[in-house]
Amino acid sequence: MMSNYLLRILLALLFLSVVPQKSDGEFDEQWCIADEQTPDDELQVALDWACGKGGADCSQIQVNKPCYFPNTVRAHASYAFNSYFQRFKHKDGSCYFKGAALITELDPSYKSCRYEFLP
């Protein structure tokens, strides 16, 4: 029977082998945001999908919530795209949205609007 100590070491090693890291040992933080060059009508279609069938948590971009302002399709799409990406990036989910989104390593959070990051 394996000791508790050995089991903890094996679990820690398994975790470190699965979680992507930068060369300096830091976690590779990534967020998914709307591409500035994508037209609003294409962003709206992708936003509707992400908040609907996609399963993103879009509660924070509703009226009177922290990420409602700026009330633009681009800002709301960025939040929704990131929510989807964080939830499903380890289950074959992507940050593509038919070319309407891109990955950034700069945290897009602002004021009281916090963009989720899940390692």
Our count of domains for the chain comes to 1
In a domain, 92, yes or no: yes
Write out the chain's pLDDT in tens, 119 residues.
557 665 566 555 655 555 454 445 456 899 999 999 999 999 999 999 999 999 999 999 999 999 999 999 999 999 999 999 999 999 999 999 999 999 999 999 999 999 999 99
Q: What is the model's pTM? A: 0.78
Residue 84 structural domain: 21-104
Q: pLDDT (tens digit, 9 = 90+) per residue, 24-51?
A: 545 689 999 999 999 999 999 999 999 9
Is it true that the peptide bond before 66 is cis, omega within 30 degrees of 0? no
The span from the CA of 111 to the CA of 91, in Å, is: 30
In a domain, 117, yes or no: no
In a domain, 11, yes or no: no
In a domain, 93, yes or no: yes
CA distances from 48 to 1, 25, 80, 104 (A): 52, 37, 9, 22
